[in-house]
Structure 1
Amino acid sequence: MKKTKIEETIQLIQELVSIPSPSGNTNEVITYVEKYLAELNVETKRNRKGGLIATLPGKDHTQHRMLTAHVDTLGAMVKEIKPSGRIKIDLIGGFRYNSIEGEYCQIQTTSGKIMTGTILMHQTSVHVYKDAGKAERNQDNMEIRLDEKVHNADEVRHLGIAVGDFVSFDPRVQVLPNGFIKSRHLDDKASVAILLQLIQQIKSEKIELPFTTHFLISNNEEIGYGGNSNITPETVEYLAVDMGAMGDGQSTDEYTVSICVKDASGPYHYELRKRLTQLAEENDIGYKLDIYPFYGSDASAAIRSGHDIVHGLIGPGIDSSHAFERTHKDSIENTAKLLYHYVQSSMVL
């Protein structure tokens, strides 16, 4: 039986989150996206930072749009090999040690060898450590227990593990019958899947876009600068597609598309925000306006780097961001619908 569009998008999400891609080590997932677009006969090019750019020509070549989503994720690096053979890590991206306690992980050596382990407190055993529950979850107390027969640092080094090797977290992806999707790295691979499906839909329906539109799959967003370059001088509108943050005081939920009005970088472009809201209302798309207090996007990075653009930010609502994330297919669908109508709409001038 042929899959529906939302089923195809969810399958894409599952495949994307299962490819390790911490910021700084994203070649494998970029290659996956590159091949996906090549099968659609979409030409792509890589920038020097390793991101991927696809361009679909439009009726108007003098004004461009850019949409972006990022494939890089949170992760870690080997910081130190301890005398015990355990491994100290240094975090990549903005998250807390407690959010990865007990997580399965894998270490990729510079030669490409993969070894697995578990991220644990040094003082894990309650039968040995009186302060097992109270000890601080930090770099000094948390370590990787390697799934290898090792007793000291030299034995770990003999396996090929060294300082600077990348550490990836097990996504533990699950798709439930009631529409919930649970996984690490839904930020922002859910949005990448939505953009890839949008491109597929544009091609299959032979839609002629009103403006030449670039799709940037960025690979350094989690460390702040993924989408701040390779923006053509003709680009007027730049829309980041990233997760909507949920929590106390937030209006974002797991069932609608979140339209960000402001984050830590300041307000997003007011006229573009109003246009997105209008498109949602005209097309019966569930949406929420929201402010993300501790957040930055590829669009805000582009503004900070000096580009003269109209910038916006939308995305599916993601619960427990930078930890054990979850969303629902309704949020994926509403985000996809808004993007579908946005790329065919008139431009904010």
Structure 2
Amino acid sequence: MSDPFRERLFRLIADLVLCHSPSGAEQEIDAYLLAWLGERGIPANQDAAGNIIVRIPGRDGSRRLAITAHKDEIGGIVKGIRDNGRIEVRKLGGAFPWVWGEGVVDLLGDRATLPGILSFGSRHVSHESPQKVYEEERPPRWETVWVDCKCSRYELAEAGIRPGTRVVVGKHRKQPFRLGDDYIASYALDNKAVVAVLLLLAESLRHPGPELSLVFSSKEEVGGIGALYFTQRNPIDELIALDIAPKSSEYPIVSDRDPVLLSQDSYGMYDEALNARLKAAAREAGFAIQHAILCQFGTDASVAMKWGHVPRAACLGFPADNTHGYEIAHFGALEACFRILETYGRT
């Protein structure tokens, strides 16, 4: 990879992906973000909901713009611990065991992080064993799989593993992988890839047009909780969410490198006037835009607009394969998101 911008973006994403941040247990990425911003002299604060906020005064004090990128990732949550030490897990956000597959997961205990194996059971079995159904009829579900740390209930308790403990894909499995010069593949690109973009915007947009808030939002994957808290307490005229955009045959998202503007998702409509202004900024910056409406999808922006916290909202997304799994994205789309919002933020 010879392009300096892409090289820096890859390094940032790699750092961010390896910071565990399941919804509501985001301390590891919080520490990274605050240190990164502090080292560059960019003032930031963290509110009571866990959002990290960079406020940048604008030339036009009558316009208030916020751009969000959520810093949490999907994961699991411990429901119970059996007498044999096997751990029962349920989803936190849109995580599915058949997507993660058997392999190492990390349990973020109160006193220690323990590795465990997400387990589906043996395959050398007949129909007398419950695992046989996975081979012939249906995928495994959280209710029928378990995590095995090979620890006793006492050892798990000593580490602070309990109902409510968060579970994420093991770090060694999350290391991003490059496919040629153009693509990056990893778990948790949703939404660490555009958290990296937002960091670069914090560095670049030192003299924006509007009053600007860059919000690294918390607990988005479980209902946009951080963004709702922020928008309820801060008057915002326009809210733009940076997020992923799922590629699928049902959506007209055909280019890997062109960002996507949404008109609608599961939570409601986006603002078409704001979309038009973002499209104009894209033309000015020299990038094309794709349009889509999405099902089974929501963002900080659509949730906040649905609840009447903001009058105008938009979502600018980067196309990705295998969303909420081992995601694949094009560096060109991420750079385009950066350049478009840099252009828009300066006007």
Q: TM-score, normalised by structure 1?
A: 0.90
Aligned position for 2:148: 145
Match of 1:182 among 173, 182, 185: 185
CA contact (8 A) 2:318 2:333 kept: yes
**Do 1:228 and 1:303's aligned partners in 2 also have CA atoms closer than 8 Å?**
no
Deviation at 1:273, TM superposition (A): 0.8
Tell me the percent identity.
24
CA distance in 2, matches of 1:321, 1:135: 21
Give runs of aligned pairs for residues 33-112 of structure 1, distance below 5 A: 33-111=33-111
Cα pair 2:21 2:29 within 8 Å, conserved: yes
Asked if 2 retains the 8 angstrom alpha-carbon contact of 1:229 and 1:302, the reply is no
> What's 1:192 paired with?
195
Per-residue deviation, 1:287: 2.0
Q: Matches of 1:315 and 1:91 in 2, distance apart? A: 24
* Contact 2:14/2:175 (8 A) holds in 1: no
Whether 2:240 is the aligned partner of 1:247: answer no
Q: Which residue of 2 aligns with 1:211?
A: 210
Partner of 2:32: 32
Which structure carries more helix by proportion?
2
1:326 aligns with 2:328: yes
- Cα separation, 1, equivalents of 2:234 and 2:107: 41
CA contact (8 A) 2:45 2:53 kept: yes
Offset of 1:12 from its aligned partner?
A: 0.6
Q: Which amino acid aligns with 2:36?
A: Y
Change (3 A) 1:59 1:161: same
1:14 maps to what in 2? 14
Unpaired segments of 5 or more residues in structure 1?
none
Q: Is the 8 A contact 1:125 1:132 kept in 2?
A: no
Deviation string 1:264-311 (CA, Å, 9 cap, x unpaired) is 122210101111122222332032111111111101121233224211
| RMSD of aligned residue pairs (Cα, Å) | 2.1
Aligned with residue 294 of structure 1, among 293, 296, 299: 296
The whole-number CA distance in structure 1 between the counterparts of 2:159 and 2:198 is 40
Distance in 2, matches of 1:23 and 1:158, equals 23
When residues 119 and 233 of structure 1 are mapped into structure 2, their CA distance, relative to the original with a 3 A threshold, is closer
Task: Give the C-alpha shift of residue 168 in structure 1.
Answer: 1.4
Structure 1 CA distance, aligned partners of 2:177 and 2:146? 26
Q: 1:233 to 1:78 in 2, by over 3 A?
A: closer
- The one-letter code sitting in structure 2 at the alignment partner of 1:195 is L
Match of 2:307 in 1: 305
User: What is the one-letter code of the residue matched to 1:115?
Assistant: L
Residue 337 in structure 1 maps to residue 339 in structure 2: yes
- Number of aligned residues: 336
Structure 2 unmatched ranges of 5 or more? none
**Superposition deviation, residue 142 in structure 1:** 0.9
Structure 1 residue 158: deviation in Å? 5.0
SS in structure 2 of the partner of residue 34 of structure 1: helix
Question: Given residue 144 of structure 2, which amino acid in structure 1 is its aligned partner?
Answer: N
Q: Conserved in 2, the CA contact under 8 Å of 1:240 and 1:299?
A: yes
Aligned-residue offset at 1:135: 5.5
Pair 1:267 & 2:269 matched: yes
Shift in Å, 1:125: 2.8
Q: Per-residue displacement from partner, 1:122-143 (whole Å, max 9, x unpaired)?
A: x333346444514651123111
Separation of aligned partners in 2, 1:86 and 1:267: 44
Counterpart-to-counterpart distance in 2, 1:293 and 1:255 = 22
Query: Quick check: 1:228–1:299 contact (8 Å CA) kept in 2?
Result: no
Alignment-derived partner of residue 124 in structure 1: 122
Query: Taking structure 1 as reference, are residues 132 and 300 closer, same or farther at Cα in structure 2, changes over 3 Å only?
Result: closer
Letter in 2 for 1:270: E
Question: Under a length normalisation based on structure 2, what TM-score does the superposition of the two structures give?
Answer: 0.90
**Partner AA of 1:137 in structure 2:** P
1:98-147 deviations in Å (ceiling 9; x for gaps): 21221421112112x111112121x333346444514651123111121x
- How far is 1:174 from its partner? 1.0
Query: Equivalents in 2 of 1:189, 1:311: separation in Å?
Result: 21
CA deviations on 1:69-100 (whole Å, 9 max, x unpaired) are 01100011221112332211021102333212
Whole-Å separation in 2 of the counterparts to 1:135 and 1:306: 41
Q: Are the aligned partners of 1:124 and 1:132 in contact in 2 as well (CA < 8 Å)?
A: no
CA contact (8 A) 1:287 1:334 kept: no
* Partner Cα distance (2:14, 2:145) in 1: 29
Matching residue's letter, 1:198: L
